[in-house]
Structures are given as C-alpha cells and as structure tokens.
Structure 1
Amino acid sequence: MPGRRPLLAGLVAGTALAVLSPFAAAQGGQWPERAIRVIVPFPPSGATDLVARVVAQKVSQELGQSLVIDNRPGAGGTIGTAEAAKASADGYTLLFTTSSTHAISPHLMPKLAYRADKDFTPIAHVADAASVLLVTNALPVKTVQELISYAKANPGKLNYATSGNGTIVHLNTAAFAAQAGITLTHVPYKGTAQSISDLATGQVHMLFDSIPTGMPHVASGRLRALAVTSAERTQLAPQLPTVAESGLPGYASVTWFGVYAPAGLKPELTAKINAAFNKAMQNPEVIASLAKLGAEVAKPGTPAQFADLVKADSARWAKVIQDNHITLD
C-alpha cells in the first residue's frame, strides 16, 4: 500500500520534510511536491522576517505546502540575496526581500555578487512601509512648511539622525533636504532607536522613523510628528498629512516588501506563486497583522507590475545617491 504524503500546513521555523508516496514519486506529481524554502536575507525577528512569516503562513495554506523561512542575514541583506540568486529556478527557493537589496544596495555596492535586474524572476509586490517625519519638541515648528522655513532661516544649524550611511532613513532625509532646498547635518547612529533620546532632548532635530516605533513617542508627547512619506495618507496614521501634500509635491518614499525567485522560473510557476501571494494579501488576518508591523498590503498585481515598480524605485535612489555623494563609508 503506497505511503501517504503528509500535508504540511502553516509556517515552521525549522527544517520541513515532505514525504512523497512511491506512487506520487513515480508519477512525477505537480509542483509543489515538497516544502518551499523562503530566504529572508535579514535577521530573525526583524521587520522583514516578521512580515515574511505572517505572509508565508497564508501562502502555505494556498499552495498546500510549507513555506520554510531561512534567515541568511549579513551585509545589508546582500549575502542572502546572492545565495538566492544561485539557487535552482524550480519553484522550491524564493527570496522575500525589500527595496534595500534591489533598489538601493546596487548603487552603493558596485561589486555585489548578484545582479538585481538580471538574476531574479519578479513574483509579487507584497506590502509597503511608510516612514514618519519626527522632530524634537525643541523646534518651534508644527508643519513641514514651518520646518523648511526654519531651516532656511537657520542654514546649517539643523541636524538629522539616521540608522547609518546609505540606509533608507539616510536617503529619505537626503531626498527631502534636496527637494526642499535646505542644508542639514547628518548624524548617523547604529539604529534609529538609539537616536530617540537625543531627539527628545534636542541634541538632534529630526528623524524619518518607522511608524510603529516612532508614533508611541508622539502619543506620549515626547516627540512631534509632521508627516508621512507615503504617496497617499496611510491608514496606520490617518491624522497625518503626507510630505507631498505638506509642501513638497511628488515626494514619496516607502520600503517595499516583495518576493522573487531565481532567474529562469517557468512562467506557469511564476503565475501560480504570484496568485497565491495576491490571495494571501487580501486575507483580513494578514492585513491586520501587517498593520501592527507598520506595513500596508499592496494591491494585487502582476510580476511585470512589480518589476516596473522596482525599476522606478531603483532609478530614483540611484539619482539621490549620486546627487548627494552618498557612500557606505
């Protein structure tokens, strides 16, 4: 009597095994016949990892196989991304990543071990995370326009915190300053959390932070929020205007989360995986869980639409990096 192939549902943190029956193995079966490895090129419990786990749980239910999260952190996500690029394009290895590895790092690390635009098959745009512009209460400003006017009246006197050179926080502020026509001094920290105390006491003046980590300090009165970086107002902080509607038309920046496979994945598999992620992103539980992590689900789209989004994002950050002479040093 042929053995049974167990159905592995849900997300697991360790190695998952799919036991195929002799009959199924002989017939070749249909994808997916076993667990799917999802490389997350960032550390466990970080934002990307948490988003990936929420989404993977629902996608596994759609596909009838486990999606096994495999954290491969290092070098700003580029180590795990390079590993994914070298995997077989058979549908059993996916990459869950962000704009960092595909739209930013290629312009900061010219000797990457992967080509962001050639070594991957775009699958799905999953979610976006906007930032919030925070200022110290020591500044006499309550709007973006007032901040810009104050900076112009006090050239070179304002500084801003970031989580390090070349990070999205750094790029957000550089783009903001350039469009506003103001001069700001960069003060890099090892993480934005470490800058909050200095921001609260007025040692640094502004910070583009994530909404979940920044808004509690606004609610407590410790800091002041001026605007969000998304193109439209976010449901995560609906009371705040966007930077664009506050005086800098066209300004928009989010960290996107997306899924890739190695280059060469068959179109039928690409379409099937894309459909599974699109359906998972419409699940109310996923929407609610991601909101708690500061992310909003993307509208269902095609792999081609995701590729176009990344191409445009990459071009934008390339210009910001070049114009502002940003390096990792």
Structure 2
Amino acid sequence: MFSKFALGTILALASATAWADPYPSRPITIVTPFPPGSTSDIIPRLLAPHVSKALGATVVVENRAGANGSLGAAKVATSPADGYTLLMATTGVLAINPWVYSKLAYAPAKDFDPVINAASTPNLLVAHPGIAASNLKELVELARKRPGELTFASAGNGSTSHLCGESLKAATGVDLVHVPYQGPAPAMQDVLSGRVSLMCDNLSNVLQYVKSGRLKAIALTGKERSPQAPDIPTSAEAGYPDVQAGNWYSFVAPAGTPRPIVDRLNAEFAKALRDPAVTTRLESLGLTIIADKPDEFRAFIAQESAHWQKVVKAANARLD
C-alpha cells in the first residue's frame, strides 16, 4: 500500500500536470526595435497572422524603437524565457551593436536563443538623379574630383547604411560626408529631395524608388546580383569587392527558452515564410527567404559578428 506521503506526492504531481498550460496559452508578443513602416516592422506583421493561426494564439507586434534597436533588444533580453516574448532582430541588433557601443544593455550570444533567420537583403547604393554618375566607377571618379562635396545619408551611426558608406570610403579613398538620421525613412526623404547625394540602404527599402526612376542604382553591395534586381551590377563587378553590406531579419527568444518551444516556433515561422503569398510579398520588397534552423542561425550570427567587428574597427565607428 502507498504511504500517505507517497499518495500525497502523486496527487500533487497529477494536479500540477492537470493545471500546467500547454504552449501557447496566451498572446505572444513580437518586439520590433524599429519604427513602423520599416522592413523590420513589415516582416513580423506579415507573418503574425499565419503564426497565430497555426499556434492557436494571438500574436501581436510591438514597436519599441531607439538606439539602433538596442532598446527593444534589451527589453526582450530581460523578459521571461517562456516563448511569449520574441524579438525581431536585425544585423545591427545582433552583429553590429556589440562593436559600436562600449556599453550595451544586452549581449547577443548570452541573452538570446536563435529561433530563425527569416530573410535577407543586400544594400543598394543609390544616388539622386542630379548626381552625374550612373555606376560605381563613375561615382568614384566624381567623388575624387569633388572631395568633401558628395554626401551620404544613413539610418544612424552604426547602421548598415552608415558602415556601407564607410566601407566605400575605405576601399576607394574618396572623401564623402556622412549625414546620419534617426532611421531610414527620414534619410531616404532627403536623398529623394536632393538634399543629400547618396544612400547605401537595404534593397528592400530603396528598390521601389529605383523602379519609379526617383533614384539611380549605382551598385549592389552583395556578393552576387539579386534575383529581384538582376540588371544592377555588384560592387565587386566594379572592382571593389570589399564594399559589402546588407541586412538580415530574424527572430530570437530570451536565452533559456525551452528547446521544444524554440523548435515549434521555428517550424511555424518557416511554414509562414514559405506560404506563396508571403514569399511573393517579401520578394517584391527585394528580400530573399532563408528560413534556417536554430543551430544554423547561431553559427551564422557568430560569422556575421566577426565580419562586422572588422568593419567597425576599420571605420572607427564608435557611438560612445
């Protein structure tokens, strides 16, 4: 016969099991650390309805912008590791911020568990139509003739658009003046108006303006041409292979999130990314679907972090 203690233990375990909530049992929040309207805002809002339907739980997107994504990242880093708070994380958040800030409120490798790398886009160097250059070689020649006159906008110090411009300066020796903004949208507006000469922003952000003729495509800063813009040559084709910049968009969870939850989230995000309507929409923005596994993504983050550490050091792009 069971002792009273043993029977009590069994009943307690049974009660705990009965009351344990299956995941997910309440809303899931995706924090995007950038303003509304950016690619990092569009992606989670596009995927949220699909993931919500698959999981049977509401998925909401919360914008918490500031400090190159650091504010939103810090919030998620200190959230419970239960799968109910996720971060839309970009190249800057996971691979650049650790090198441009001497003090950061989160540590990517320690504070997050990778869930999935959703999609990527190379940067595209564009110019206002009034700039007398149609390709990278012509732009470099023009900049050499007019040192300190051409300006390039960025989404802020330490952003990929900033470091792309710095890489161009380092590779060519030209004198370009950096004009930082609070985000890509206001920067792009000043390039469109002609107040600033150039910008090296994500293909997904600028392709629409190239297609409409409002901006000129100078060079794609990727290793190969983009399927979304096959006629635009790369910086390597112009003789500057070291001018490389781009962005990737991913989802991470607070470190310590149970692996079964991480794997389930990975599977549902991957399914959503491969939905034909979602794929078509993201590709129309100049994005390439990745949808990798958590361990693959972890290795990729380490590789990217090492790359951007070198770029930041060469550009001396410290923010504090």
Asked whether 1:318 is paired with 2:318, we answer no
Of 68, 83, 91, the residue aligned with 2:83 is 91
Residues 1:37 and 2:29 are matched in the alignment: yes
Cα distance, 1:153–1:238 mapped onto 2, change above 3 Å:
same
**CA distance 1:123–1:326, shift in 2 (3 Å):** same
Identical columns (%): 37
What's the secondary structure of 1:81's corresponding residue? helix
Structure 1 CA distance, aligned partners of 2:176 and 2:285?
30
Aligned pairs, number: 306
TM-score by length of 2: 0.83
**Structure 1 pair 213/28, CA: closer, same or farther in 2 (3 Å)?**
closer
Map of 2:49 onto structure 1:
57
In structure 2, what residue type is equivalent to 1:279?
Answer: K
Partner of 1:307: 298
1:239-296 superposed Cα distances (whole Å, 9 cap, x missing partner)? 2122223322254322111111111122222222212222221111111222344433
Q: How does 1:64-103 map to 2 (within 5 A)?
A: 64-103=56-95
Q: Distance in 1 between matches of 2:223 and 2:54?
A: 31
Q: Does 1:161 align with 2:153?
A: yes
Equivalent residue letter for 2:310: K
8 Å CA contact retained: 1:231, 1:253: no
CA distance in structure 1 between the partners assigned to 2:207 and 2:35 by the alignment: 24
3-state SS of paired residue (1:291): helix
Match of 2:133 in 1: 141
Q: Report the Cα distance in structure 2 between the residues aligned to 1:256 and 1:140, rounded to whole angstroms.
A: 31
Whether the aligned pair in 2 keeps the contact of 1:231 and 1:251 (CA below 8 Å) is: no
What are the residue-to-residue correspondences of 1:1-329 with 2, within 5 Å?
26=18, 28=20, 30-194=22-186, 199=191, 204-211=196-203, 213-249=205-241, 251-298=243-290, 300-328=291-319
Report the alpha carbon displacement of residue 78 of structure 1 after superposing the two structures with TM: 1.4
Structure number with the higher helix fraction is 2
Gaps of 5+ in 1: 1-22
Alpha-carbon distance between aligned partners in 2 of 1:94 and 1:113, rounded to the nearest angstrom: 17
Provide Cα deviations, 1:211-254, integer angstroms capped at 9, x if missing partner.
35534443444432122223332233222122223322254322
The alignment partner of 2:277 has SS state of helix
TM-score of the superposed pair, with normalisation by structure 1: 0.81
In structure 2, what is the Cα distance between the partners aligned to 1:44 and 1:217?
A: 19
The residue type equivalent to 1:302 in the other structure is K
Whether contact under 8 Å (1:38, 1:69) holds in the other structure is yes
Quote how far apart the aligned CAs of 1:165 are.
2.1
Inter-partner Cα distance in structure 2 for 1:201 and 1:95: 34
Where 1:246 maps in the other structure, the secondary structure is coil
Equivalent residue letter for 1:67: V
Deviation at 1:185, TM superposition (A): 2.1
User: How big is the shift at 1:198?
Assistant: 5.7
Q: What letter matches 2:240 in structure 1? A: L
- Give the drift of 1:201: 7.2
CA 196–274 in structure 1, closer or farther in 2 if over 3 Å, else same:
closer
Give 2:72's aligned amino acid.
G
Give the distance between the partners of 1:222 and 1:265, measured in 2 at CA. Answer: 46
Deviations 1:114-141 (A, max 9, x none): 1111011111001113322112344443
